[in-house]
Amino acid sequence: MSTRSPSTPSGPPARSHATARSAALPAQVARTRAGEPATFLEAVAEALWEEMERDERVFLIGEDIGAYGGAFKVTRGFLDRFGPSRVVDTPISEGGFTGAAAGAAHMGLRPVVEMQFMDFVSPAYDVLTNYVATSRYRGAGPLPIVVRGPVGGGNRGGPFHSQNVEMAFFHTPGLKIVYPSNPRDAKGLLKSAIRDDDPVIFEEHKGLYRAPHCRETLPREDYAIPLGKARTALEGHDLTIVTYGLMVHHCLAAAQELAKEGVRAEVVDLRTLLPLDEEAIAESVKKTGKLLIVHEDTRTGGIAGEIAMRINERSFEWLDGPILRVTAIDSPVPYSGRLEDYFLPSPDDVVAASRYLVEY
């Protein structure tokens, strides 16, 4: 462990990372630079590219991210531009390369760890919860590390390639958890995560990576979105729907159906789960009097329970009905397509729960 004083968290890198080479922009970055609407995947790639150009302490580490360009091609072309000391291919050892990244962060670098699928983060759980998350508390100083990767179901990936892992880390003080729902937020939040001096778990729903409905023209100026701040994705006054990630799109679709019946739902996109923007949720509930919480993660121990309890504690007098939740069922993600569709929450489920609340 580093013996450097905690008062010097962002000192110069221990060794030169000036290995940048002259190379053309990779396609996923060039399209956004040309002003074309960016996919979620392209927004993530551009955030990584810009932060690596901005700060030579930033480097990437993970399986197949260099020559292969990553399982989803997020980092295609990065090796040609930044070289093997800043785009580091690793063996299949999530605990090992996450620990190596933690050591690099102690020495002044700013690693971004890619999990090929976030389901595979479990071997690194010990490093992240026992070591990384406790760094400040133990007096070892800040530990600026981002662990990012694809999550979520709907792609027939089965139980090893479809999980949402946020609640495995939600209980751990010292970590931050980010789960964006659109390209603009993905880029701005990832840039903030990389610049943050604390460890961040950054979840990217693979169902949004190349989704045709999830494309946006990104601002050309440099921007970052603060962590810990929710956004109102849709204004309404009849009930509040709190959600994040892919479920934002399901909830907006449900809100469109409800609007045909004269019901105006307010959709709050959390964006950051830890720290949780409790104030934004409470203010919306104060306006609508009804709260529905929607997430793709399984029901028991999901974030819906925590949100419900916090609103019960601070905003009970504003509630005009029970707090409800729409979630996946308590099961591993099925392989069967029909079973997976049954397992996952749908816009129809959100509509049904919303109708119950409005009529309560």
Between the CA atoms of 215, 186, 343 and 349, what dihedral angle is there, to the nearest 10 degrees?
A: -70
Cα 138 from chain centroid (whole Å)? 27
State yes or no: cis peptide before 159, omega within 30 of 0: no
Helix (H, G, I), strand (E, B) or coil at 47: helix
**Cα–Cα distance between 9 and 197 in angstroms, integer?**
8
φ/ψ of residue 271, rounded to 5 = 65, -60
φ/ψ of residue 328, rounded to 5 = -70, 160
**Cα–Cα distance between 190 and 355 in angstroms, integer?**
36
CA separation, residue 179 to residues 182, 193, 229, 270 (Å): 10, 11, 12, 8
**Cα–Cα distance between 9 and 87 in angstroms, integer?**
23
Cβ atoms of 221 and 209 within 8 Å: the answer is no
| Dihedral sign from CA coordinates of 260, 266, 270, 271 | positive
Q: Angle 347-359/246-259 helices, nearest 10 degrees? A: 50
CA-angle at 251, arms to 249 and 257, nearest 5°: 110
CA separation, residue 46 to residues 27, 43, 236, 267, 347 (Å): 10, 5, 33, 28, 31
Q: Which residues are catalytic?
A: 161
CA separation, residue 293 to residues 76, 105, 322, 349, 350 (Å): 37, 36, 11, 12, 9
